[in-house]
Amino acid sequence: MKHVILGVEKFQKEVFPGKKAEFERLANGQSPEVLFITCSDSRIDPNLVTQTEPGDLFICRNAGNVIPPHSNVTGGMTASIEFAVAALGVTHIVVCGHTDCGAMKGALSPQKLDSLPHVKEWLSHCRVATEVVKERTGSAELDDNHLEEVTKENVVQQIQHLRTHPAVAAKLAAGRIQLHGWVYNIETGDVLCYDDETREFTPVNQQPGGSDAATS
């Protein structure tokens, strides 16, 4: 914890003064362009990966970058998505998975999560991804050899869940928002983007239009 406190002190003394004008502007409101939904994993830093500044990203994080399908039961993700889209007016939503994801390992073997009942229930939102991979590969059971494929498929399926949220559906129908599926490789720094037409993940710099390539 000591290094965290020292980091705060360094921020206040060395970083904040150089960005004072920016923070003064942000003190009165925000207008992010992107809703960035990713995993809670400590190895993922959205601003570092995207080289963005405070105010650029509205960030939502949870185990497995999960987006529950819309329902009448209010949850933190549902409220945050609605706020970002309907109130803040974001024009892009990124769902970003990552390599070596513990949540995806749990989704592969839910029977091992009996001692973590809330985690097990949460990851039931990933079941569609595991079922798709089982069907695609002809496998009755999945193991760690399927981790990469399940990680990618989970991003695709969470985007499908995202489309069920009324605020998102309305903006999609009006052509005012774009959805992006990413997978970040922790070891190499590579970012792969999902192409809805080819149904493949390709490097972000190979996407048509660069970062403007959308899944919708």
Q: Which residues are annotated as a binding site for Zn(2+)?
A: 39, 41, 98, 101
Q: How many CA atoms lie within 13 A of 206 on its CB side?
A: 10
Question: What are 209's two structure tokens?
Answer: 């239009």
Residue 125 tokens read as: 């939102």
The alpha-helical segments, DSSP class H, found in the chain are 2-10, 20-26, 46-50, 76-82, 102-108, 117-122, 127-137, 147-162, 166-173
Q: 62 forms bridges with which residues in the sheet?
A: 39
Tell me the backbone φ, ψ of residue 179, rounded to 5 degrees: -110, 140
At 189, list the tokens.
Answer: 């720094």
